[in-house]
Amino acid sequence: MSEPDCLVTDEAERMVRTKTLQSCRLSVRVAVSGLRGEVTFHASLREFTSLRIGGPAEALVIPEDVEDLGKLVRQAYAAQVPLFVLGGTNLLVRDGGLLGIVVSLSKFSMIQDESRHVVYAEGGVRMPVLVRHAISRSLSGLEWAAGIPGTVGGSVVMNAGTRLGEMKDSLQAIRLVDLQGQERVHTASSIAFSYRHADIPKGVVVGAWLNLVAAPRTQIERTTKDYLRYRKNTQPLTRPNAGSVFKNPGPQTAGQLIEEAGLKGTRIGDAQISEKHANFIVNLGQARATDVQLLIQTIQQTVFQQTGVSLDPEITIVGES
């Protein structure tokens, strides 16, 4: 192909992309019209991720309630605008940000005792808040979540867990807003769970019922504090991070493989493989998503070359480069 043809092709692609973006922006405005909640265009997502990294959202929406969310989902689905719900900690938003609509369930913050052992928590409830609520009611079953900063909704979707347990262990049912904007209830027994994954019908998890176990409060507090102390001693909880970067391939953990590969402390820009736990990448201040992605690639290539083991990311990477 000659040079002029290349230039014409590049210009044509640029025009098509510009037209597509303009059409998408118009569709986004249609999808968020008439909502009672907060709508912010070109909102930075840095403060909404535990890594403190991320480009802007084309539109960030904080729905007022389930009815408002249902309207948003219906309108976005009709306008063919992608929706992304914030919630889990295992998230990296690329530097180019996210097209479409990003949803924060921060106003979904209610916790309600349904019975002596069953607690209902809305999707935006932070896990530390739910853990404290369970302790105050002398209910055991969430000690594993000590120190996890994610939300209830995000923890359900990714079946969050630690060596002490997983979300599925106490989950009784979920409340979900489907793609038609309707509320549905799905029992935990109807959901297939696996390591850091839950096979949930398409929609937004707006709440969960948890079946906990009565136990002496002092015992629950001791277990929770002991595990939190263990995590503080072994994980870089004082630095912005996204939790475990890779799934454990077994029998060796991902952290052990990365450390044995001599990668602990490796740094690209302000992104660093933690010196405390090799399966964590921390933000030393002004890290970019591209820095983190390069570290992830470095880890995968080095570990595979040395051991033949392919590390599968636990972290979810979304957005535009």
Among 187, 217, 219, which residue's Cα sits nearest to residue 200?
187
The sign of the CA dihedral 21, 27, 33, 39 is negative
Which one of the listed residues 104, 244, 259, 274 is annotated catalytic?
244
* In the block, residue with structure tokens 């605008």: 81
Can you tell me the distance from the alpha carbon of 302 to that of 321, in angstroms, rounded to the nearest whole number?
24
Which one of the listed residues 126, 175, 196, 288 is annotated catalytic?
196
Peptide bond into 128 cis (omega under 30): no
Has 109 been annotated as catalytic?
no
CA distances from 66 to 61, 69, 102, 181 (A): 13, 5, 16, 9
251, two tokens: 């029998």
Determine how many CB atoms are found less than 10 A away from the CB of residue 32.
22
* CA 36 to mean position of chain CA atoms: 25
Q: Are 281 and 272 in contact (CB under 8 A)?
A: yes
Can you tell me the distance from the alpha carbon of 254 to that of 303, in angstroms, rounded to the nearest whole number?
9
Among 250, 253, 232, which residue's Cα sits nearest to residue 241?
232
Backbone angles phi, psi at 255, to 5 degrees: -60, -40
Determine how many CB atoms are found less than 10 A away from the CB of residue 33.
12
Has 244 been annotated as catalytic?
yes
Which one of the listed residues 122, 143, 259, 314 is annotated catalytic?
314
Any idea which residues carry the catalytic annotation?
196, 244, 314
